[in-house]
Structure 1
Amino acid sequence: MIHTIVDSMCIFALGKIRICQEGEFGAWLMAGSIVCLRGWHPALAKAELESLFPNNKLVQLESPRLVMLEGEINLEQARINVNSSSGIQAILTDCIIMDWDGNNNTKRKFITNIGKTIEKSDKSGSIGVFSWRQEGRIQGLSGSELANSVGAITTDLGYSVNLDNPDHKVGIMLDGFSKKVICGWMLDANMDSSGMSSRRATERPFFKPISLDPKLARLAVNLAGGPIDERIILDPMTGTGGFAIEAATMGRNIIAVDMDMEMVEGTQKNLQWAIEIPKSTIQVIQGDATRLSQFIPEQFDKEVSGVVLDPPYGRNSHGTTSHYNLLESTLLSVHEICTRDANLVLILPIKPIKIDINNQLKDDSSIKLLHGEWNDFKKMLTTSGWNVKGKWGEHVHSSLSRLILHATISPQD
């Protein structure tokens, strides 16, 4: 019944938090739900969360990796979001939060309150208890000991033990930054990220050294696409198909375009390798990204709601066309076939900058594009019909960083 996991993650809260008891044992808080995000880039993970839960409001809490998500959620959709996301680790519901003060009485009271919550629930069947920590240790607390104590309570209450495939999961998270411990029912904890690792570029039958990491490709698709539904995602310069693979494995409808037939055939091979039985519409088309309306199937015209674009700066299939002009023409072309609420995620190479993974990029003066000037690019983006909503930096190596830019469509006459 007890499983301890040590990982680096970030935590987000769903629903309003209220103080339910305060006294000699410290402050006791209860929250509706808490979403637990991975820690490789909390700011991007937060943006992905906001995109997947557009009807909820995010409120930053004390820890840089603790955010409250206000409003009700659909539990089934939440499960889908966890298993389809790049940044979401788990979602906890009916949470109890302990502010650790070093007092063992506080810990005992915390465990007692967890037991009462489990006892009052209407759940039946088997239970597994999982614990993990983030942002370092909390002195005087052990996740495995807490999990053992809660596990003993579930056994006393008559629940059977099942770690491999329990009917219900209880999660206990220890946050070293805020010294808080959060416990709740886990909807679906995606503790193992090996699925994305198994799809990294070097594992595919067709790859190039410049291919994106699957976790960034998947996050970009979710940031552009929003909740998983029947809407269309477009990758107008697909290359080896990294975006298409991640979209298709989530069951999203995807159109992948490339002017180079080698890339088209390579993407098709990669999709066949990654997906045994497609659960969505997947089209790989040879074509010019600057003339999309001329060849995109009629049923997809004005139906594209999410665009992901990682321009192939080391591979210009458009001959003498400059990188700047190629990107401008592509953005105008994309605009013509998009819905009126479309989102764009654009990834650009930039000169190395200091990256704060907990925040968006605020200082435009720090952005130095490898191709062109940032101020000229911003003007071009606006004239092409796109408005910047957010931007983040990612470290690649000592000589290169990436700019991840999220934009929304603007009306064009």
Structure 2
Amino acid sequence: MSHVQRPGGQTASQIFRSITSAQSSARLGGLRLAGVAVLAASLAFVSACGGGSDDKGAATPANGSAAADGVLGPVAKATGTPVKIGVITEGPSPNTDHTNDNRVAQATAKYLNEHKGGIGGRPIEITICETLADLSKATDCGNQMVEKGAAAVMIGTSGVVEAAWKPLNDAKIPVMIYGSTDPSLLASQTTFVLANLTFAVIDLPIQVAKDKGNKKVTSIVVDVPAALRAAQDIAPPLYQKAGIGYELLRVAPGTADMTPQMQQVVDNGSDQVFITGSDSFCISAMNGLKAVGFTGTISAISQCITDATRKSIPGSTLKDMVISASTPIGPDSPSMDLYATVAKTYGKDIDLSNQDSMIMFMILAGFQAATQGISGDITSAALTSTIKAMKETELPASAGLKFRCNGKAIPATPAVCVLGGLSTTLDDKGQPAAYKVLGNTPIAD
């Protein structure tokens, strides 16, 4: 689920948090739903496929130090004066507890120092600041990192990313995050974003339509400003360019019976729908589609699929549904094996089913991978220039996504380092069967 602040400059996390908040208020007198986080010019992926699972030991790697060493790679210890790296998380916020992210950051730093030579051969020294999802605290965290001399800062999934980011950007300290839609952040020359802004809610359903031979897509979106920007402003010309018909269907948060709205899908001739909302919103939408006899393709953002969805929607409906994903959490894979092995080798009490925490691993390990070859004084300026000069590299724990931060992935938003993203197809139990990289084309020199 997610986070939200001001409409227009938010991560998917932010956006989704506002959505779940609006829906909860409508249904439960203001009780806010917990959420995960992540990005997109409108919401995106997260709590994905594996979201909601109580299995805290998913994809447990083989036991034994030999097996762990095989996953972690050879020992390459960092030595010398530590490099101060700031990590900003929400910590135990009122909406969702991100203390798991803190534990992952510490474990990841130990792994990088033991097996990846830290940063430029020097050990990474982590300093963590928690925002508690509070704007003023987020700004304080950004200022603290400047005052403490952090050479770079990683910001985990959060509803107050921009507040934490601004003082760092003003100080020209490099920042790596998963995502945001804030125009100033995306234009920054010292910020590096690891998720494509449109993949989860636009590129994915377009690709699904092409793969299935569908002619028209209705985007079913919860009617709150944070969720509508991409579907309303960004999607239409992209669908037109793809030669696929497009309709936007806005549904009020808290609508329990969507049968009348779903009849519009049948009436407008759509053979595919894409659902953007919380699990309860998606359950209502899918029940409504069944009630009106819709037989076309259903796809959705990953927040749709939780244990609540799996209990409420027949497996026959969920089977073969394609959804977006922020991380390849859940099924056994090299990415999940690496993450789980790091967590078990260097951490304690880490919940392996938590997507936000796998994103934290991806951000910190991705930052280390982007700074390969740095030498001499490891300053903020040196880190920034090294990252900008990086060659295309596989993003750790991403199921094979490549990234490059030279500002040319999406020239209009030079902070973005990735094209395309991950999708997964659900099995007959509503669980992700495997992850697939889509649209991850090479980034130009």
TM-score (norm 2): 0.26
Which structure has more strand as a fraction of its residues? 1
Which structure has more helix as a fraction of its residues? 2
Q: Which has the higher contact order (CA 8 A, sep 6+)?
A: 2
TM-score (norm 1): 0.28
Larger Rg: 1
